[in-house]
Copies of this chain bind each other. A is one copy, B any other.
Amino acid sequence: MITIDYSDRRPIYEQLVDKIKNLILIGLLKPDEQLPSVRILATELSINPNTIQRAYAELERQGVIYVVKGRGNYVAQTTNLLAQHKEEIKGKIEAIVEEAKKANVTKEEVIEEVTKCYDKC
């Protein structure tokens, strides 16, 4: 279900956070479903338990999962997640547009590139 890409330059815990959020977004992990325990996931992925712990802590901080002490980690309600993700994407678009403007890339060029990507890739 989860794989680590070691050629990815981002830290492992960050990849984990993204992967799990994605599993929730695409519906493979449902609200209130229990996540694998830190130990199990650690051995499964042959990763240091500290790393899993850190990823779970970050997910909790973002309100994506909730922790029940002594029992485990559970998927939180997804209502916000989708909206959050969309906002995040919009933020990224804003950033890239600003950069494009500075580089004298016209609105038309950007839209053309967007269209091309939507159709092909």
Contact = CB atoms under 8 A, between A and B. Distances in A.
Name the interface size band of chain A: 35 or more
Contacts of A118: 97, 101, 107, 110
Given A7-B66, A69-B11, A98-B121, A114 B93 contact: yes
Interface in A66-121: 66-70, 74, 82, 85-86, 89-90, 92-94, 96-103, 105, 107, 110-111, 113-115, 117-118, 121
Interface string A32-55: 000000000000000000000000
A6 B75 CA distance: 12
Q: Chain A at the B interface: mostly helix, strand, loop or mixed?
A: helix
Contacts of A110: 93, 114, 118
A17 to B, nearest CB: 14
A25 interface: yes
